[in-house]
Amino acid sequence: MKRTLDNLTSEEDGRSISRYLMESTWRLGDAFKNKKYFDCIVHCHVPKTAGVSFYEPFKAHFKSFHVDHKDIPGSIRSYFGDVRDKKCQFYTGHFSTYEILDHIPEERIVVACVIRDPIDRLVSHYNYNSSPAHTWYEDFRRRFPDFESFWRSEQFGGSPMSRQLFGGLTMDGGLLRSPGGKPVEFAFAPQNRMNGFIQQLFDAMDAKIEVRASRQNVTGEDAKIISRSDLSEAEIDAISEEHRFDCAFYNTIVRTESTLNAFRRLRVAQSA
């Protein structure tokens, strides 16, 4: 039975995401053992997950297509005519998996993303959007005068990391699929594993390049309005409940190190 992740209950959603990620690890491992490399990497840039630091090495070495946020007037579908013609090895932007996948011509696709502790990410996102580094920071401050109004809002609440990556996809036969039926493979790593993750993705693209990301802070040191240490235990518990899908997703990645284990199997298979 096909079910969209958007419509699952909280407990089912958490279990579905966790089960999928663990099962996906083995599928990726099998693909690597058969030396089935990817045609392209799709980077769904979740805000405040070191996305600029992540994508710069790929843009430097691969034919890339960057859908900038200013090109997304609520939807990037009007931009997809260009996407179809690009035939790139790397796509990046603040789009969702649901929006872009069926518009990419390549077949062997991996959706890659660095992920971050959900509460730390929310704090960083609020600080960034409230700072002059963000184009619309004055309007943002009027709409969200305090942190709670931000993380409880319809736009930024309710596990936005999971929505961007998994929302609108269907679970069918143990696989997540795009609206057009294309099976989706994911590769994730926590932020503190980013450099190794980038190198492993380069290896999976059969690129004979040693690469290391250079961390970039696009917010600025003077932009801190709130820090995690300012939050009480009750506030952290409330945020964790509101963003429970993201917390379950992040904890699954950290606990299993699924992507790293898959890539380790790749290297073992290659050396055998």
Residue 242 forms part of a structural domain: no
- Alpha-carbon distance of 104 to 185, in angstroms, equals 14
Residue 147 forms part of a structural domain: no
Beta strands 64-67; 185-190: pairing state: unpaired
Helix pair 233-242, 244-256: axis angle to 10 deg? 90
Residue 60 forms part of a structural domain: yes
Kindly state the helix (H) or strand (E) to which residue 128 belongs, with its residue range. Answer: helix 118-129
Residue 146 forms part of a structural domain: no
Q: Tell whether the model's pLDDT for residue 42 goes beyond 80.
A: yes
Structural domain including 182 reads 3-117+162-216+249-271
The Cα-based distances of 110 to 18, 113, 116, 135, 186 in angstroms read 18, 10, 19, 31, 5
| Lowest model confidence (mean pLDDT) among 28-32, 73-77, 194-198, 210-214 | 73-77
Cβ count near 233 (within 10 Å): 7
What total number of domains does the chain contain?
A: 1
Q: Supply 105's token pair.
A: 């011509």
Q: Tell whether the model's pLDDT for residue 266 goes beyond 60.
A: no
Residue 234 forms part of a structural domain: no
Q: Looking at per-residue confidence, does 39 or 17 come out higher?
A: 39
Predicted pLDDT at 181:
84
Q: Supply 217's token pair.
A: 């802070």
Angle, alpha carbons 40-108-199 (nearest 5°): 45
Predicted pLDDT at 56:
92
In DSSP notation, 79-114 reads GHHHHHHH--SEEEES--HHHHGGG---SSEEEEEE
Residue 36 is classified by DSSP as: -
The pTM score is 0.80
Q: Supply 211's token pair.
A: 């690469």
Residue 265 pLDDT class (50, 70, 90 cuts): low
Q: What are phi and psi of 7, to 5 degrees?
A: -100, 0
Long-range contacts of 173-181 (CB under 8 A, 24+ apart): 174/20, 174/23, 176/5, 176/20, 178/97, 178/98, 178/101, 178/102, 179/98, 179/102, 180/101, 180/102
Q: Looking at per-residue confidence, does 21 or 14 come out higher?
A: 21
- Alpha-carbon distance of 141 to 129, in angstroms, equals 8
Residue 150 forms part of a structural domain: no
Mean pLDDT of the chain: 76
pLDDT digits (tens, 9 = 90+) for 101-119: 877 777 788 899 998 999 9
- Alpha-carbon distance of 62 to 134, in angstroms, equals 28
pLDDT digits (tens, 9 = 90+) for 204-234: 887 778 887 666 665 555 567 889 999 999 9
- 57-73: average pLDDT: 74
Predicted pLDDT at 35:
53
Predicted pLDDT at 71:
46
Predicted pLDDT at 96:
84
Predicted pLDDT at 153:
93
pLDDT digits (tens, 9 = 90+) for 122-175: 999 999 999 887 888 899 999 999 999 999 998 898 888 888 888 888 777 667
- 169-189: average pLDDT: 79
Residue 62 forms part of a structural domain: yes
Residue 244 forms part of a structural domain: no
